[in-house]
Structure 1
Amino acid sequence: MTTTDPTRELPKSWDPAEHEGRLYQGWVDAGYFTADADSDRPAFSIVIPPPNVNGSLHMGHAYEHVLMDALARRRRMQGYEVLWLPGMDHAAIAMQTMVERKLAAEGLTRDDLGREAFIERVWAEKAEIGDNIGNQMRRLGDGVDWSRERFTMDEGLSRAVQTVFKQMYDDGLIYRAERLVNWSPVLKTAISDIEVSYADVEGELVSFRYGSLDDAEPHIVVATTRVETMLGDTAIAVHPEDGRYAHLIGSELDHPFVDRKIPIIADDYVDPEFGSGAVKITPAHDPNDFAIGQRHDLPMPTIMDDEARIADTGTSFDGMDRFEARVKVREALAEQGRIVKEVRPYLHSVGHSERTGEPIEPRLSMQWWVKVESLAKAAGDAVRGGDTVIHPQSMEPRWFGWVDNMYDWCISRQLWWGHRIPIWYGPDGEVACVGPDDEVPAGYVQETDVLDTWFSSGLWPFSTLGWPDKTPDLEKFYPTSVLVTGYDILFFWVARMMMFGTFVAPQLGEGDTIPFHNLFLHGLVRDEHGRKMSKSKGNGIDPLDWVERFGADALRFTLARGANPGSDISVGEDHAQSSRNFATKLFNATKFALMNGAVAPGTQRAGQGDPVGDLPDRSALTEADRWILDRLATVRAEADAGFESYEFSKACESLYHFAWDEVCDWYLELAKVQFAENDEQRSRATSLVLGTVLDQLLRLLHPVMPFVTEVLWTALTNEESLVVAAWPQPTDTGTDTRAAQHIDDLQRLITEVRRFRSDQGLKPGQRVAAEVEGLDAAGLTDSRPYLDSLARLEGSDDTFSATATIDVRLSATTVTVKIDTSGTVDVAAERKRLTKDLAAAEKELAQTTGKLGNDQFLSKAPDHVVEKIRERQKVAAEEVERLGATLSALGGS
C-alpha cells in the first residue's frame, strides 16, 4: 500500500464515504488480517461470538465488534501474530422459523417437503443471505481473517460436534431421560432458557375445592392461575408442620373429572403462610411440582400434546386448546360448586417464546441431556485457579452462582435444521452412538432430534481451529487470548464453552486447560435516555445508518469511548456527531501541520534527499515542545493502561482530551508562533516535534479510529500502512515539571485575557495595544510572543494609555496586563449592554436567594430541586461579580 507520491495532498475535507471502502479492501488484499500459524511472533487470538446467519448486526453487535477489533489492531501493532477469527451460527430455531414462514406464504409446510428437501431449502436460504453480516462487518472495519471464516454447520465443525458427542456419551455424560422442559407449542420443540423472555400478564387466580363439598367432611382448597392443569394433578402438598392439615396427610381425595385419587402429601417446599397453605401438584407441567413429584414418586401424566391441546385425559376437555380449556374447566368447577372464592384478576410473570411470542408450556418430555456436575465444577475451578480471568472481577460471584448450581442441560431439539444427534436405533431396540469415522450399523435408523445450537457454539474456540485434528492453528492460537462478549450470555454460552474446553483439555497440549485466558464482559448498549433498545420501543439504532451519516470512525469512537467492563453504555446521535467532529478536528489539525512542514522523525520525503533526522536534544527545544512531548508520554501510558485493563473509556477519554484540548487548542497555536520566527533551526525542531506528536497520536488512536488515522498517518510518514506500524513505546527522557508549570501559567494568562476581550465585545481578530508586567517573575520572559499571538495583543508606543487592567494570579506571582481599548470599543453601547445583563443577573440572584431563605420552600421542595436552585444562585453571583468588574474596567459613567 505504498504511494508513488510521498507528498500527496490530503483532500479538502474529511469525507468518510470517500475513503473507508477503498481502505478496507486494500488492507484485506494486502493480507494484513491473515494470520500465519508458522510465525515466531507471540500469538494473540480472538474468536468472534458468531452472530445468527439469518440476522443482521444490531448496535450491540457493533459495540462488541469495535472492542474486539481495537484489541486485535493494537496487538498487531505490538508485534503479535494476531488471529481474529470470524464466523456465523446456524441459528437452528431462527432459521427454521424463517424458512417455515416463507413456506407458509407459499401454502406449504415442512412436512409437505419432507426432511431432506426442507434442509436443502434452508441451505439455499443460508447461501442467499449469508454475506449480509460479512458485508456489515466490512463496513465497520472489522480486521478479521476472512480466509478462516467458519460456520457452525460446516464440515469441520460438524466433525467436531459428532466427536465430542460420542466422547461424552461414552463417558456417561450424555443420557436420555424424561424431564421437564420449556416447550414451544408453535415450534413444537423444547427451547433453551435464553430463548424465553418473561413478562407480567394479567391472569386470574382461581381457588377451588378438592374433596367433599360438605365443610364437615374431608376437603382442601387450592389456588392456581392455570386451572386447566388440574387435569394433571397427582397430589396436594401441605407443610408437614401445618396443624390445619395434619389429619389429612396420607389420605386421598377424589379428582372431580378424572378417575384418579389425589393423595395429600407433606413437603417442606410449601409455604403455610401463603394462600390456603395447600398447593396442587402437577408434576408434568410445572418445574417446582416436578421436583416434588420426584421426591414423592408421584405419577406424572402429560395432559397436553405438542401443540398445547388437552390430550389423553379421558375427559370432555380433550382436544381443546389450553386457553379454551382454562375457561371450560373453571366453568365446570363452578357448576359443581367447587369455586370457593370469586375469581379475581392476578398479575403474574409468564415465560414467552422469544421467536414466536406465545407463552411457553412447561412440559414433561423425553429428551437428551448433558450431565453437568463435573463439567461445571471444572469450569468454576478454572476461574478460581486463575487460568481464566474475568473482567470485571465483580462478575465472578455471578459466574460462580451459575456454575456451582447448574442443572443438567437439555441438548435436544425437535427441529430439522441443525446437527442431527448421532444416535442410531436398531430394529430390536439397540442404541449406537456413531462418531464421524464410524460405520452406521445396517438397518439402524438415526435419531430425529437435532442438537441445541449452544452445543455446537460451545465448541467454537477450538472447533474453529481444526479440533479434533492437531492442526497448526490449534497449536499456535489455542487457548485463545480473550473472549469478548456481553454479560447477559455469561451462563448460556460462556459456561458451555468453559465446560467443553475443560472436557477436551486432556486431548490438547499441556496447559491447554481452558478455551480463553481472559473473559471480558461488556454491558448493553442503551439509548441516550438509558433505556434498553428494542423494536417495541422504537428506540433501536441501526449501526450502518450511523456509518452512512457519520462514518465508521465516528460510530467506533462513540462506542469505545463509553466502554468499561461490565457497564452498560448510553448513546445518541449527539454522541455520534461529537465523534464525527473529532475526526474532522484530527483531519484539519494534521492538514495544517503538514502545510507547515510537520514531519515524523526518520521518514523519507520524495525529492528531499536523506531521511529526516531524529528529534533534537531536549535542551534545544522550547518549553512548549518539551511540555507537549511530556504530555504525549503521559497520555501514551494512560492509553496503554486503559487498553490493557479493557477500560476503553479511559483510554479514549485521555486521547480525546489530549488531541483536542492540548494538541489542537494549544500546541498547534504555539507552534504557529515558533514557525513564524523565521529561525530555520527552530522551525525544523518544531516540525519534528509536531510530526512526532501527530505520528504517535494517530498510532494510539488507530485501534478505535482506523480509517481517518490511516489517511493522515500515511500522508504524514509516507509509510506503508498504520495497520502494520509499530505501537508507541515508552520514552525515558524524564519530565520537565518547570516547563509544564510555565505552560500551565501561560494558558491561564492567555485564557483570562481572552475572557476579558470577550466580555468587552472585542472582535476575535482585533489586536489591541498592551503592556505586561510580571512576566520575568513568572518565568515567562520568552513567552510574550505567544501571549501576543494567542491573545491578539501588540506592543505599546509613546501614545499608549491603559483603559483597563487585568490582574492574573499565576503559580509564582501575579501578572498585570494593561490594555488600551480606546477606539476599539463603543463604550456607551457596551456599558448599556453590560448594565442590562447585570440587572438580569442581579434579579436572578435575588430570586434564588429569596427561595433559599424561605424555610417553607426548603421543607417541601425535593432535594434535587433545592440543589438546582443553589447552583443557579452560585452562577448568578459569579455573573454579578464578573459583569460588575467589567463595567468598572470600562470606566466612564
Structure 2
Amino acid sequence: MTLYLCKSTSQGGNLLLNQDEIVKKMEEWPKHYNPKEIEEKWQKIWLREDYWRDVFRFKEEDTKSPVFVIDTPPPFTSGELHMGHAYWVTIADTIGRFKRLEGYNVLLPQGWDTQGLPTELKVQYKLGIPKENRQLFLEKCIEWTEDMIKKMKDAMIRLGYRPEWERYEYRTYEPKYRRVVQKSLLDMYKMDLIEMREGPVIWCPKCETALAQSEVGYLEKEGILAYIKFPIKEGGEIIIATTRPELLAATQAVAVNPNDTRYINLIGKTAIVPIFNIEVKIIADDAVEKEFGTGAVMISTYGDPQDIKWQLKYNLPIKVIIDEKGRIINTNGILDGLSIEQAKRKMIEILEKNGYLVKVERIKHNVLSHTERSDCLSPVEFLVKKQIYIKVLKFKPKLLEEYKKMKFKPSRMSYYLEDWINSLEWDWNISRQRVYGTPLPFWFCNNGHLIPAREEDLPVDPVKTKPPVDRCPKCGLPLKPVTDVADVWIDSSVTVLYLTKFYENSQFFSKTFPTSLRLQGTDIIRTWLFYTFFRTLILTNNIPFTNVLINGQVLGPDGTRMSKSKGNVVSPMDRINEFGADAIRMALLDASIGDDFPFKWDTVKGKKMLLQKLWNASRLVYPFIAKTKIEKPEKIHIIDQWILHEHKKFVNKVITAYKNYDFYIVIQELYNYFWEIVADEYLEMIKHRLFENDISAKYTVQRIIRDIIVLLHPIAPHITEEIYHRLFGYKKSILLEELPKVDDIQEDPRVEEIGSSIKKFNSMVRSEKIKNRLSMNTPVYVKLYASKKFIENIKIVEDDLKKTLKIVNLETIESNEEKVEINKANNQPMGV
C-alpha cells in the first residue's frame, strides 16, 4: 500500500490519503464510454411510466410554469428513418429538453402522416390487394402503416428522442384526428370557402390523381422544339415553334407579340392547324416571348399554365385530348391510345411526311412536374375535371400581412413563404382520386352543389353513409357521395388545431395557442407551413405559432443531395452502435440552422472523442466529489477563481445560444471551454489539490462539471444523464435540475490576466518538452524570460504550476521577450 503525505494548499493541515482506495474508487467507473449499452439503458428508463409522469408529461394542472408547445412534423410513414428525419428529431428533442431545464411546461408531440399514395401502391402491388376491394384494401393499408410506424419509432427512440408518446402521439387516419380534419372543412364550407367546380386541374398521369399547385415544380428535362408550318387562310403561312406537337388537335389559337414587327400584318387573320384542318385566329398578346422559337406559339387546351390563362382571357373553346392515364384521345384515330411520348414521335413523323415540319431541335427546358413526390417526378398535364376547391386567392393580401407576426429562424426563410404567397395563381384543389385518405365529408348533385355532413356524425365516410337529406336542397336533384379523399396537406395542416384542442377544450386551447414553435425543413415551406398558416388563420383569426424554425437539408458526404442512384445515402442507424446516438446528434447540430451541410462519419467520430474526454474528466473527479454536495468555501483559490471566471462566460454564451437555436455555438463553446481549458489546463492543475482534499478545488470542479453536463444534456442526453447519476443523482433525472446560475461569480480583470498568463506559461513549457522529446511527466528545470508583470502572475501560482508541469526549479528573468528554457532534471523527487 502506498501512502502520500500531502499538505493542503488552501485549507491547512496534513492529510493522509490512501491512493489504493482512490484507484479502487476510480475502477468503479469504466475507462471507456460504451454508448450502445448506456444509451439503450436510458432509453428504456425514459419510457417508464414514472419517468413519463415526473419528467416528460405536459402538466395541464400546472398554472405557474410558462407553456412551450412545439408543432413537430408528422413524417410520412415510409418505414425508413432517413438522415433528414434524424435531423429534425434531434432538433425537436434538444429544444424540448432545454425548455424543460429552463422551467417551461413543455408539450412535445409526435404525429404520423399515415395516408397517401405510396402506401396505396405498396398494398396494391406488393401485397396484391386490389383497390376495388375497398374495405380489405383500407385494412391492409392500416396494417402496412402500423408496421412502418414501428420501424420509424424504434429508430427515433434509439436516437434518444422522447416526445410524449403516451398522450400526444397521433395518426392522421385515426377517428379522433379525422374528426378535427372534417370539422375544419365543414367550418370552411359554412364560411363559403369550399365549392365544387369544373375546370382545368393539375393532373399526374403516373399517380392518376389531381394535384395542388404546391405539389408541382419545374424540372429541367431534355425535349424537342418542333418548327411547324401553319397555312394562313388568306394566303401564306406562319411558322410556330412548340415543345408539344402532340397537342395540335387541341389548338384553339395562334398567338404573337403585338410589338413583333414580323407578324403585325397577320394579327386577326385565320391560321389552319395542319393535319387536323382546324381554323383558329391569330391573336396578339404581350405574354408571347418574341425571342423564343419563332415568336409565334399555339394555344392548346391545355399544354401549360399559360394556355389556361389565355383560354380564360379570350374565352377560347376547350378540347381535352389526354385522359387520366396520360393517353391521347379525341384525335379522330390519328393518335388515339398512344402515350404522350409515343404521340409526340408519331406527330413529328406525320408532319414531316405531309410537308409541315420545318425542323426539330433538341433542347433542355423546364417542365412542370410532380415534384412533391421524389419517387414520381413525372410531367403533369392539365385536364378538365369536376373537383372540390378551397378558396385561397382572395386571402393573399391578408396572408401577406399576417405572416409578418411570426418570427423566423433564420430570418431569411420568411422570404420563401412570402414569395410562395405572391406566386399563388390557383385556389387549392383538395380532391384526390385515391382510397386511403380522409373522406371529404360531402355529397353532391349533378349541378355541382355540395351538401355537408352533420357535425354530430363526424367522422364520416359518404361512401358508407346516407346523406343528411334525400335530395339537394338547392335544386332538388338526387345526391351522390363524394368518393374522392382529401389532399394529405388537408390532414397535416390541422396539427396545431388538433394539439391545442381547438374543437374540444376552450380552456386548454387558450393555454396552448398560438403554439410556441413550428419546426420543419425548407422543403415543406410551401406545403405544410403555408397550409397550416392559411387554415389556422382563417379558422381562428390568429397565427398558428409565434416562432418558425426552418432547418436546412442534410447532404451526402460528397456535399450533394442524398440519392440512392448516386450511392451517397447515409442512414443514422448505419453506425449508431459504434459511435452512439449522442455523437450523431452532435454532428447533426454542428451547423447553423437553415444551412445545408454534408453528413460525414468522420465528424461523428470527432464528437465521440469529445464525449470520451468528458467521460474521462468525470471519472477523474469521481472519487473526490461523488454524491456529496460541497458547499462554497469562504476562500476560493486563485486558479479556481480563474476557471469560474471562464465558466461564467461559457454558461452565458451557451444559454444565449440555446435560446437563439444556435446549437452549433453550444458545441463550439464546449470545445473551446471544456476541452481546451477545463480538460487540458484546469484539471491538470488541480489534481494535486484534489488529493490534498482541497475544498476550493473540490467545490469548483463539482460545480463546473455539473453545469457542463446540464448544459450539454439537451444535445447529448444519454452520456450526461449517466454522468449525472454517477456523480450527483440529487434528482430523478438531470432534466429536473435547473439551468446553471452564475450571477455570484464576480468578474475580475486581474483574475483573467493571471489565467491568461497561466495558459501561456503552460503552453510554453509543454511545447519545449515536445521540442526536446520529453514526456510531460519528465521533471525539468525551467528558466522563464518574461516581463515583470508576467513573472508576478506566475509567482502567484508557482507551486501549482511546478506540481502540474513537473518543474523541479523555476528561475525567472525579466525580459522584453517571453520564452522558456528547460533542462531535464534527473533523479529528482516530485510532488503529487
The question of a shared fold, defined as TM-score above 0.5 by the shorter chain, is answered with yes
Per the TM alignment, residue 650 of structure 1 is displaced from its structure 2 partner at its CA by 1.4
Distance 1:193 1:530, change over 3 A: farther
- Measured against aligned partners, the alpha-carbon deviations of 1:322-377 in whole angstroms (never above 9, x if no partner) come to 11111111111112111112x22112233444333543334343322221134444
**2:138 counterpart of 1:138:** no
Shift of 1:661: 0.8
- Aligned match of 2:529: 494
RMSD: 2.5
Displacement, 1:7? 11
Could you say which residue in structure 2 is the equivalent of 1:710? Answer: 721
Alpha-carbon distance, 1:454 to partner: 0.7
Q: Is the aligned partner of 1:621 residue 2:636?
A: yes
1:252 Cα deviation (Å)? 1.8
Is the 8 Å Cα contact of residues 807 and 814 (structure 1) preserved in structure 2? no
Q: Is the 8 A contact 1:699 1:727 kept in 2?
A: yes
Greater relative contact order structure (CA < 8 Å, 6+ sep): 2
Letter in 1 for 2:753: Q
Change (3 A) 1:312 1:488: same
Question: CA 1:120 to 1:329, structure 2 compared with 1: closer, same or farther past 3 Å?
Answer: same
Q: Does 1:240 align with 2:280?
A: no
Partner SS for 1:483: strand
Aligned to 1:33: 56
Give 1:61 shift: 1.2
Distance 1:376 1:95, change over 3 A: farther
Relative distance call for 1:737 and 1:192 in structure 2 (3 A) is same
Distance (whole Å) between structure 2 residues aligned to residue 448 and residue 778 of structure 1? 87
**Does 2:118 correspond to 1:94?**
yes
1:158-202 deviation digits (Å, cap 9, x = unpaired): 111111112212222122233443322122112345554654332
Superposed, 1:374-393 pairs within 5 Å as 374-384=394-404, 386=405, 388-393=406-411
Q: 8 Å contact 2:201–2:383 — kept in the other structure?
A: yes
Q: Hey, what's the Cα distance between the residues in 2 that align with 1:244 and 1:664?
A: 79
Give the alignment partner of residue 485 of structure 2, picking from 450, 468, 476: 450
1:83 paired residue number = 107
Do the aligned partners of 1:808 and 1:816 also contact (CA within 8 Å) in 2? Answer: no
Structure 2 residue aligned with 1:53: 77
AA paired with 1:688? Y
For 1:754, which of 747, 751, 766 is the aligned residue?
Answer: 766
Displacement of 1:815 after TM fit?
A: 5.8
Report % sequence identity: 28
TM (norm. structure 2) is: 0.88
Partner of 2:13: none
Matching residue within 59, 73, 87 for 1:63: 87
Task: Report the TM-score when normalising by structure 1.
Answer: 0.82
Secondary structure of the residue aligned to 2:763 is: helix
Q: 2:147 is aligned with what amino acid? A: E
Q: In structure 2, what residue type is equivalent to 1:132?
A: K
Match of 2:207 in 1: 187
Distance, in Å, in 1 between the alignment partners of 2:698 and 2:600 is 38
Corresponding letter in the other structure for 1:660: W
Structure 2 residue matching 1:181: 3-state secondary structure: strand
Tell which deviates more after alignment, 266-275 or 465-474. 465-474
Q: Find the partner of 1:560 among 589, 596, 603.
A: 589
> 1:631-673: per-residue Cα shift (whole Å, max 9, x none)?
1111111011111111111122112321111111111011113
Which runs of structure 2 are paired with 1:214-363 in the superposition (5 Å)? 217-258=235-276, 260-341=278-359, 343-353=360-370, 354-363=374-383
CA deviation profile, 1:521-567 (whole Å, cap 9, x unmatched): 111112344222222221121012242221010011111122x2322
1:593–1:358 Cα change, 3 Å: same
Residue among 77, 86, 109 paired with 2:130: 109
8 Å Cα contact 2:274-2:356 kept in structure 1: no
- Following the alignment from structure 1 to structure 2, what is the Cα–Cα distance between the partners of residues 499 and 22? 43
**Alpha-carbon distance between aligned partners in 1 of 2:818 and 2:447, rounded to the nearest angstrom:** 102
Aligned counterpart in structure 2 of residue 726 of structure 1, from 738, 745, 768: 738
Q: Tell me, yes or no, if the aligned pair for 1:286 and 1:363 is still in contact at 8 Å.
A: no
Change (3 A) 1:141 1:333: same
Closer, same or farther in 2 for the Cα pair 1:814/1:673, shift >3 Å? farther
Query: What secondary structure, in the 3-state scheme, does the structure 2 residue paired with 1:340 have?
Result: strand
Alpha-carbon deviations, 1:746-804, whole Å to 9, x = none?
211121122122112223332223355668843221322333234332138xxxxxxxx
Structure 1 contact 182–190 (Cα < 8 Å) conserved: yes
8 Å Cα contact 1:422-1:433 kept in structure 2: yes
1:114-149 deviations in whole A, cap 9, x for unaligned?
x23322221222233321221111111112001221
Distance 1:491 1:730, change over 3 A: farther
- Larger deviation, residues 581-590 vs 645-654: 645-654
Q: Which amino acid aligns with 1:584?
A: Q
Cα distance in 2 for partners of 1:404, 1:435 equals 36
Could you say if the C-alpha distance between residues 240 and 663 of structure 1 is closer, same or farther in structure 2, counting changes exceeding 3 Å?
same
One-letter code aligned to 1:347: K
Secondary structure in 1 matching 2:516: strand
User: Do the aligned partners of 1:239 and 1:267 also contact (CA within 8 Å) in 2?
Assistant: yes
Give the match for residue 625 of structure 2.
598
Q: Which residue of 2 aligns with 1:866?
A: none
> Where does residue 657 of structure 1 map in the other structure?
672
Give the corresponding residue for 1:128: 147
- 1 CA distance for matches of 2:618 and 2:751? 25
Matches within 5 A, 1:407-486: 407=425, 408-426=427-445, 431-437=450-456, 440-442=468-470, 444-470=479-505, 473-486=508-521
Query: Residues 814-853 of structure 1, C-alpha deviation per residue, up to 9 Å, x if partnerless?
Result: 56644334889xxxxxxxxxxxxxxxxxxxxxxxxxxxxx
Q: Is the 8 A contact 1:670 1:786 kept in 2?
A: yes
Shift of 1:690: 0.3
State the match for 1:819 in structure 2: 822
How many Å separate the matches in 2 of 1:806 and 1:273? 82
Q: State the one-letter code of the partner of 1:18.
A: E
Residue identity in the other structure for 1:715: R
Aligned in 2, Cα 1:18/1:122: closer, same or farther, shift over 3 Å? same
Structure 2 gap ranges (5+)? 1-24, 458-466, 471-477, 828-832
Alignment counterpart, residue 737 of structure 1, candidates 721, 735, 749: 749
The 1:536/1:728 distance shift into structure 2, 3 A limit, reads same
How far residue 707 of structure 1 moved from its aligned partner, in angstroms, is 0.3
Please name the residue that 1:787 is paired with: 801
Residue 275 of structure 2 contacts residue 351 of structure 2 at CA under 8 Å; is this kept in 1? no
Change (3 A) 1:698 1:169: same
One-letter amino acid matched to 2:625: A
SS of equivalent to 2:435? coil
The letter of the residue matching 2:61 is D
CA distance in 1, matches of 2:353, 2:390: 47
* Residues 822 and 589 of structure 1: CA distance in aligned 2, closer, same or farther (over 3 Å): closer
Alignment partners' CA distance in 2, 1:272 and 1:560: 50
> 2: distance between equivalents of 1:45 and 1:222?
58
The structure-2 alpha-carbon separation of the partners of 1:265 and 1:771, relative to structure 1 and needing over 3 Å to count, comes to closer
> SS in structure 1 opposite 2:792?
coil
Out of 693, 700, 715, which is 2:704 matched to? Answer: 693
Taking a change above 3 Å as real, the CA distance of residues 93 and 820 of structure 1, as seen in their structure-2 partners, is same
Separation (CA, whole Å) in 2 of partners of 1:700 and 1:770:
39
- Counterpart-to-counterpart distance in 2, 1:431 and 1:201: 40
C-alpha displacement at 1:79, in angstroms? 1.6
TM-superposed deviation, 1:298: 0.7
Partner of 2:654: 639
Q: Which ranges of structure 1 fall in alignment gaps of 5 or more residues?
A: 1-5, 507-512, 606-611, 797-804, 825-893
Find the aligned partners of 2:330 and 2:409 in 1 and give their Cα distance: 52
Q: Measured at CA, do residues 355 and 769 of structure 1 come closer, stay the same or move farther in structure 2, by a change above 3 Å? A: closer
Structure 2 CA distance for aligned equivalents of residues 816 and 344 of structure 1: 74
1:22 to 10, 34, 41: 41
Letter in 2 for 1:440: P
Letter in 2 for 1:225: T
User: Which of 52-61 and 663-672 deviates more?
Assistant: 52-61
Q: Tell me if structure 1 keeps the 8 A contact 2:327–2:337.
A: yes
Provide the rounded CA distance (Å) in 2 between the counterparts of 1:256 and 1:499.
47
